[in-house]
Amino acid sequence: MVNEHALTVSLEEFGLSKYEAQAYVTLISKGTISASELAYYSDLPRTKVYPILLKLENKKLAIISKSKPIMCTAIAPEDAFDPIIHEQINKVNAMNTLVSKLKKASEESRKSLGSEEKRYFQIAANNVLNQLKTMIDGSKNSIQIAVDQWGLGLLSDCKEQLLSVTRRNLDVKLIIPTSHIGSEAYRSIPNGIKIRASDIVQNCFIFDETELLIVSNENGKGANFSSTEILCSNQSKLFSNIWKGAIKTECLADMTKLEAQETYKIIKIINENGLSHILNIAIVSKKTDIDMIKLLEKNGINLKSKSLDDVIEMMDAAMQIMCSGHVNFDANSKNITVESKLNSGHSLPWVSVLDGYLQKKGYKTRMVFQNNSSKGEKTHIKISKN
């Protein structure tokens, strides 16, 4: 069961201090109260209450009365966090604009190098695969690959060459479409190649950061650029930016395609809507019991139809991807351990999902949360049948 502590640590992700988050959650729960009552309910030092209220007022999260005793009221979450949400949307839009500009710079560089320096040559569609195999074989240090469905199909035909570079310990990174996690082509990629998934993909192969192969998914034709410093630098930076935000896929490798896709969808739902769902329940229902199962059901994910082992496998994969964590179930002691190497409540949304699933399945749960600044956080869920 997620309590007010979970709401507090989630708000800290939005840039609030611990005391500010405690005060805001208390105001949301209690309504209009005096400053002394706020100190009592939120367990804040009395000497800190007024400075904290001023900070919340400056951040447009609370209203303070001018009369005495001082009364304070929280601004509703939908009004308080709207500017922050728009700020995040603007950041995403800015990133998309940056990607478009980088792609435009790449295209302009290709035109310039092709017409003025003659440093590229076109490759007919029926020769692209052989050229790709040759370039993989000729790599010395690293290969960066971003592909869509078309490019992933090409790459799956280069298994022998990819095995060769992994035996030579080259650094090979591959970005695939999220829709192809767990697909047959995905499973054909040899072990030793680092794979992540993203919704931003193109058919681009960068070899040793000095040679570039771009393939069109419309006609299958390719273009090979050699020693193009500006173009390769742009593409390598673009790849690195996408790689940082892409989803790790190693822990999904043993799942079926359906299971892998469902796990990815759950991660996306929790990341994009989890906090707003929590805040909405807090303000509308005045409760701290957070039903994440309903949030998932609204988005087409039905965990109640799955076995406990299947749900734990999915949650374990999500924890590995999001916070280098794990979910373990001891059948003998009936104890589930949710562990994260990161602090600040990173594991709590997944604890809430598990808790909601267990209660829907008729289990009674009891939880103990542990937080260690150097070792991360851990939640023990003891389960028993009602």
pLDDT of residue 112: 59
Residues 34-69: tens digit of each pLDDT: 988 998 888 888 888 999 999 999 888 899 988 888
Residues 270-281: tens digit of each pLDDT: 887 776 666 665
* CA-based end-to-end distance of the chain: 16
pLDDT of residue 80: 79
Q: Cα 24 from chain centroid? A: 26
Residues 136-174: tens digit of each pLDDT: 999 999 999 999 888 898 998 999 999 999 999 999 999
pLDDT of residue 119: 56
pLDDT of residue 246: 87
pLDDT higher than 50, residue 1:
no
Q: Does domain 257-385 have CATH number 2.40.50?
A: no
For residues 84-109, give the mean pLDDT.
79
pLDDT higher than 50, residue 264:
yes
Read off the tokens for 341.
């190497």
Residues 293-306: tens digit of each pLDDT: 888 888 899 988 99
Task: Pick 159 or 107 by higher pLDDT.
Answer: 159
pLDDT confidence tier of residue 117, bands split at 50, 70 and 90:
very low
Contact assessment for residue 319 and residue 326, using Cβ atoms and an 8 Å cutoff? yes
Q: Which residue has the tokens 């790790």?
A: 248
pLDDT higher than 70, residue 86:
yes
Residues 184-219: tens digit of each pLDDT: 888 888 888 999 998 877 889 999 888 889 998 888
- CATH 3.30.870.10 occupies which residues in the chain? 83-248
pLDDT confidence tier of residue 227, bands split at 50, 70 and 90:
low
pLDDT higher than 90, residue 102:
no
Residues 343-358: tens digit of each pLDDT: 777 788 888 889 889 9
CATH superfamily placement of domain 83-248:
Endonuclease Chain A (3.30.870.10)
pLDDT higher than 90, residue 107:
no
Task: Pick 58 or 230 by higher pLDDT.
Answer: 58
What counts of helices (H) and strands (E) characterise the chain?
15, 15
Q: Count CB atoms within 10 A of the CB of residue 305.
A: 6
For residues 31-35, give the mean pLDDT.
90
pLDDT of residue 173: 95
Strand partners, 364: 384
pLDDT higher than 90, residue 385:
no
Read off the tokens for 248.
């790790």
Task: Tell me the whole-structure pTM to 2 decimals.
Answer: 0.59
Query: Which range has highest mean pLDDT (40-54, 90-104, 116-130)?
Result: 40-54
- CATH 3.30.1380 occupies which residues in the chain? 257-385
Of the candidate ranges 5-19, 214-228, 248-262, the one whose mean pLDDT is the lowest:
5-19
pLDDT of residue 11: 79
- CATH 1.10.10.10 occupies which residues in the chain? 4-75
Classified by CATH at the fold level, domain 4-75 comes out as: Arc Repressor Mutant, subunit A (1.10.10)
pLDDT of residue 140: 92
Of the candidate ranges 165-174, 261-270, 278-287, the one whose mean pLDDT is the lowest:
278-287
Please name the amino acid found at residue 338.
V
**d(Cα 360, Cα 341) in Å, to the nearest integer?**
28
Q: Cα 268 from chain centroid? A: 7
pLDDT of residue 116: 44
